[in-house]
Structure 1
C-alpha cells in the first residue's frame, strides 16, 4: 500500500448530531502516518473541521507527534494498557499545555493502567459489547468516581444493535459510533419525493443506449425542479467552470456516465434531514459510489461501479428495503446481482468498500489485488472520494435550497 492510508468513522452525539470522526491509519502502530497525513493536508481534509479521535503509541507521545496539529483538532486516544512513568507524564503535560485533548481508549470490565490518567483526560471510550447494561453502568461508575465531577465525557464504541444504543444512551453517554448507524432499520411505509422517483427512472433510461439524448432531455424537462438541480450540479466546479445552459448540452459535454453520476448524487441528496446520522449516511453513500467508481478494470464499467457503490447504502438512506428501491430504477443485471445477491463482477467492489470503511486495510488490500487494482492507490482513492463528495454534495444541496417552486396545476 502507499506510505499511509486512512479511513474516517463518524462519532455521533446523543441527538444524532455529528460531533467528530475517528481516523484510523493502515499501519499497526500509527508511526509516521499521522505526521504524513497532516503535512500532506489529508488529515484536515478528512476531519472536515471537526475533532478527530486518533490512537497513539508511547513513541508518538514521547516524540510530541500531535503538537503540530491545531489545538482541539485532535483527541488523542491513549491505549488502555499505557502505564504512567516520568517520561509519559511529561509528554502528556506538554500536550495538555499546548491545548491538547486526551481520551482513554477501550476501557473494559477490568481496571486498566491508563485509568491513572483519568484526572487529566476529557473523554473515555467504552466498548458497548463489554456486557449487559449493569456491566456497562459498573464500568461507567468506576470511571466517573476517579475523575472530577462532570469532567469526563463517554463514547460508546462498537454500537452494533439497537439495545446497545439504547442502554448507552440511557446511561448518558456523550458519543456513539458503530455499524448500527450505517444500517438503520428500513421502514416499509417510507416513500420518496416525486423528483427522486423521476430521477431514479431516468437512470434506467440513461443507461439504455437506444434512448437518444433528445429523448432524455424531453423527459427531464417535464420536471422543472430536477432540471434546475441537474443544471446546478453539472455547472459545479467539477466541470472546471464551463457554463452549461441546457440538459442536452450537459449530456453532450460530460457524456452518459458522468450524467448518470450527477443524477445519482441528486437522488442521494434528496434525502433532506437535519439529523447528523442521516446527513452522514448520504455523504457515505456518495463517497462509496465515488470510491467504487475508481476500481475500473477487468471489464468493469465505471458508471456501474458508481451506482453499485451508492445504491448499496440507499436502503439505509431512504429507510426502505433495497429491493423496493431497485424496483424504481432499471439497473443492469450485473448491478442487481451485486446489490441483492453479492455475486457477479461488481460484488467485490462493495465488499472492498465495506472492508475499507471498517478499517480492515489488509482485507481491503487483498480484495483490491483480486480485482487487479494496485493497493498502493487505495489511500489516494479514498481521500479523492471524500473531497469529490464534499464538492458534489455542496452543489447538490445548494441547488435544493435555490430550486424554484413547482407551480400548482
Structure 2
C-alpha cells in the first residue's frame, strides 16, 4: 500500500445495517486534506480493492471531493463498489453520460441529499437508493401525512441514526437500511428484566478470562468451557480463521493453549466476550467492538511491543462492554481482569491508550475535524492511520 493518496486524504468508516441487524456493506468516507489537491482515482480504487476485492463484500464510497468523484464516475470500479453521488451532481446534465455508463457497468449508485431541482429523467433508474439524513426526513418530523414532496420513488437509507429506537422507527417508515453506529442506548433496548442478553454465556467467558489470567491448569479451563459447547465452537472458529495466521489447524481447546499460550489466548477470549450476545439489537455493537479492537491494535503495530498491541486490542474490544452488561466500566472491571493501561482508558478516560481511543471514535464518526485533532495529538501521519484502518478492515473481513 504505497499509493500517495493515503497521505492526501482522511478515511472514516461506518456500516450499512438492515432490518435484521445484519451489516450488509461498509461505507468508506474519503476527505481530501487539501481542497486544491489532485487526487488519483485509480490509487483510491487500488486501496479499496485491497480490502474489498471484486469477489468480496460491498463497500460504498462517500467522497468529499467533487473532482475525485468525477474521476470515479468515469472509472470502472468492480461491481461490489457502490458510489454515493450528491444530488447537485446527479442533477447536472454534464454527468448524465458517466452516470449511465456506471449504471450499465453494474455498479450500485446512491443519491445523497435532497435535490434542489428535478433530476434528468434518464438518470433516475441509475440510483438504487437515496441517503436521507434523519434531521432532513420530513416523514420523521411531520409523520405519515407528510406533503407530496416527501413521496419517494426509490428505496432509502437512513443516515444520522444514533440509537436503537431511531433505527426501529426508520425501518417502520420503510428504510432499506440505516447508516452508522446506533449504539447510544443499545443497553436499555437489549435487556429484559434488567439482565443483559446472553447472561449465562457472558458469565462463562468472564470466568474463563479470570482463569486464564491466573494461568490455571488446562483441565480447569476445559471444564469451564464445556459448560457451553457453542462457545467452544465459536472460539475454535476464531482461532482457525485466516485473521489469526496460524499454519496448523487448532483441533481442541487444549491444543489452542499449547500453541498460543495464556496471553495470546486471552485476547481471543476478549473477542469472544464482546461477540457472545444472542440479542439481535446488539449486532451493531458487537460489530463496532471488534473493529475498534482491530484498529487500535493496528495503530501500534509498528511499535514492536507485542504486549502493547494485545492490550490495545483488548481495550478496543472491551470498549462497549458497558452497553452489553448494562453496567458502568468501574463495576465491570471488578470482575473482568484487564491491564492497568486498559483500565485507565475505559474507567478513567486517561492514560496512554486514551488518545488512540479518541482517534478510533473520530474515524467512526467520519469527522475530519476530530480526525485531524486526534492525529495531531498522537503525532501520527495520516498515511500511517489510513494504512492501519485498511489493515484492520481487511482482518475484520476475514473474521466475518
Equivalent position of 2:260 in the other structure: 254
Contact 1:286 1:389 in 2 (8 A): yes
CA distance in 2, matches of 1:34, 1:114: 28
* Deviation (angstroms), 1:247: 5.1
Residue of 89, 100, 112 corresponding to 1:93: 100
CA distance in 1, matches of 2:285, 2:164: 17
Give SS of 1:112's match: coil
Give SS of 1:267's match: helix
Residues 181 and 88 of structure 1, relative CA distance in 2, 3 Å threshold: same
Residue of 286, 292, 312 corresponding to 1:282: 286
* Deviation (angstroms), 1:217: 1.9
Q: Which runs of 5+ in 1 are unaligned?
A: 146-150, 395-409
CA distance in 2, matches of 1:169, 1:232: 32
Equivalent position of 1:11 in the other structure: 16
* Deviation (angstroms), 1:83: 7.0
Residues 82 and 268 of structure 1, relative CA distance in 2, 3 Å threshold: same
Equivalent position of 1:313 in the other structure: 320
Give SS of 2:343's match: helix
* Deviation (angstroms), 1:291: 1.3
Residues 315 and 262 of structure 1, relative CA distance in 2, 3 Å threshold: same
Give SS of 2:162's match: coil
Residue of 50, 54, 58 corresponding to 1:50: 58
Residue of 286, 289, 297 corresponding to 1:293: 297
Residue of 147, 151, 154 corresponding to 1:152: 154
CA distance in 1, matches of 2:149, 2:285: 34
CA distance in 1, matches of 2:202, 2:136: 42
* Deviation (angstroms), 1:359: 1.8
Larger deviation: 14-23 or 301-310?
14-23
CA distance in 2, matches of 1:136, 1:67: 41
Matches for 1:372-391 after TM superposition, within 5 Å: 372-391=379-398
* Deviation (angstroms), 1:58: 4.9
* Deviation (angstroms), 1:157: 0.9
Q: TM-score, normalised by structure 1?
A: 0.76
Contact 1:20 1:53 in 2 (8 A): no
CA distance in 2, matches of 1:369, 1:69: 33
Equivalent position of 1:402 in the other structure: none
Equivalent position of 1:404 in the other structure: none
Matches for 1:6-405 after TM superposition, within 5 Å: 6-27=11-32, 32=39, 35-40=42-47, 41-42=49-50, 44=52, 48-50=56-58, 52=60, 54-55=62-63, 58-60=66-68, 62-63=70-71, 65=73, 67-71=75-79, 73-82=80-89, 84-107=91-114, 112-113=116-117, 115-116=119-120, 119-120=124-125, 121-130=127-136, 133-135=140-142, 141-142=148-149, 144=151, 151-161=153-163, 164-181=166-183, 183-186=185-188, 187=191, 188-207=194-213, 211-212=214-215, 215-222=216-223, 223-224=225-226, 225=229, 230-231=235-236, 233-237=238-242, 238-244=244-250, 250-251=256-257, 253-272=259-278, 275=280, 278-296=282-300, 301-316=308-323, 318=324, 320-323=326-329, 325-391=332-398, 393=399
* Deviation (angstroms), 1:266: 2.2
Larger deviation: 180-189 or 344-353?
180-189
Q: Which runs of 5+ in 2 are unaligned?
A: 1-5
Task: Report the count of equivalent residues.
Answer: 376
CA distance in 1, matches of 2:164, 2:237: 39
Equivalent position of 2:3 in the other structure: none
Residues 216 and 282 of structure 1, relative CA distance in 2, 3 Å threshold: farther
Contact 2:18 2:176 in 1 (8 A): yes
Contact 2:31 2:64 in 1 (8 A): no
